Homo-oligomer: A and B are copies of this chain.
Amino acid sequence: MAELRKASIAFSGSPLDRADNLRADPDALSARMDWKARLLLLDGLTPALDSAGMLVWGTLADAPDNAELVFLGLDRSDGGEKACFACVPPEGDARPRMANPDLWAIMTSLAPDQLALYGGARSLVDWHARHRFCAQCGHSTRPAKGGWQRSCENCGAEHFPRTDPVTIMLVEHGQGDDRRLLLGRGLGWPEGAFSALAGFVEPGETIEEGVAREVLEETGVVVRDVHYILSQPWPFPSQLMIGCVGTAQGTEITLDETELVEARWFTMEEVQASLDCTPDAPMRCPPPHTIAHHLFQWWVAQ
């Protein structure tokens, strides 16, 4: 079951071979930029979809003049081998996914491998669009290594796409049928919407320290015995979600009102009812493509 869960989480399982050896070999990469090469068609950061709900691909001839191209990898799905690219759009978008309602439909309609391919491409081109200048000296930068780097011609700095590690955690208390889960409702979330607590891992801490710090900051609850469960790439804009479980030393909550509107303990039955979307469910669950949903499923199956 563990392997099944990991294989099926949204935004994982891209069918592309990233072929990183081509990134550092400009001649070999240029040779792949031929009539067989495919261009992922995007409107800004939104994918074009065909009537079957599949990603739409063009050729490199569809790229605007002077567009920055990034190399996504090789597609061997139809027996051949096609190099896949995407264009950097004029503007990026670092808003959280909640602010992108169009994407909800895409996330539920795209096949898993298509969604994974799109998510990785989106993170990469969004990073380029928001990192056209050198953070070290302010000069403009150019893509290098097939779009897996930007280089500054002025100071020589090399910049790499970001992936920000975020811990997201099941905080549990009690034994057996009395087990309960600590969940929170973030600022601006709809009434009844709860999810697992989460926060960025900061410089100078382990995953386990990050989990304990976030839970303490947001709810005042002390957590011990933190264990990793599963991870997910999350492309809004580019997080690595690291799902963990930990044991609370108490149940008293001191809310950080700059982060959460409310936090409370849910029983196993309440979490199960919410996953099942029963009429009397006490909360609205995060949707199935989120790691929080997978964590809830893992927890009720224990």
Contacts and interface: CB of A to CB of B under 8 A. Distances in A.
Given A130-B157, A140-B138, A240-B165, A203 B120 contact: yes
B134 A133 contact: yes
A169 interface: no
A206 B233 contact: yes
Contacts of A135: 130-135, 159
Contacts of A20: 217
A225 interface: yes
Contacts of A204: 11, 14, 116-117, 119-121, 123-124, 233, 235
Indicate the size class of the contact surface on chain A: 35 or more
A163 B161 contact: no
A278 interface: no
Contact of A207 (B139, B203, B225, B240): B240
A12 B140 contact: no
Interface string A144-187: 00001000000001011111110000000000000000000000
A88 to B, nearest CB: 13
Contacts of A21: 217, 256, 258
What 6 A-B pairs come out closest when comparing CB atoms?
A: A120-B204, A123-B203, A133-B138, A228-B228, A131-B135, A207-B231
A203 B134 contact: no
Interface in A207-257: 207-209, 213, 217, 225, 228, 230-233, 235, 238, 240, 242, 256
A109 interface: no
A140 B235 CA distance: 27
Given A21-B217, A124-B203, A217-B21, A138 B138 contact: yes
Given A120-B203, A136-B130, A138-B138, A163 B164 contact: yes
Contacts of A242: 207
B235 A208 contact: no
A133 B230 CA distance: 36
Nearest to A207: B231
Contacts of A240: 165, 201, 206-207
Given A165-B240, A225-B3, A230 B206 contact: yes
A202 interface: yes
Contacts of A230: 206
